[in-house]
Amino acid sequence: MTVDTIERLKALVDEVRDTPVLIVSAWEYTNRMNNKIMFAAFTVWCHCDILESPAVRRPKLIYRSGKFRGKYEYLNNQS
């Protein structure tokens, strides 16, 4: 799943937190086609292909094991 803001990603993570859909990783990246920052979420049923995607530039892992990382750690304290 791809979303265009960190707020939408956070809402998505919260929405599926206790469901079988469970997001296992999320990434921030620059979209090569429009040069915009985007966010991609991968569930337990979805292969993470972000490192192979030709449309992705500078991917950064920002969510793993139920926690946001790096500059997005502050989102762990918000419900």
Q: Is 15 exposed, middle or buried (0-12, 13-18, 19+ CB in 10 A)?
A: exposed
Cα distance between residue 46 and residue 15, in whole Å: 17
DSSP 6-60: HHHHHHHHHHHTTSTT-EEEEEEEEETTT--EEEEEEETTS---TTT-TTEEEEE
Tens of pLDDT, residue by residue over 9-28, are 999 999 988 877 789 999 99
Question: Is the pTM for the entire model greater than 0.85?
Answer: yes
Tens of pLDDT, residue by residue over 64-76, are 989 999 999 999 9
State whether residue 70 is helix, strand or coil.
helix
- For residue 68, the 8-state DSSP code is E
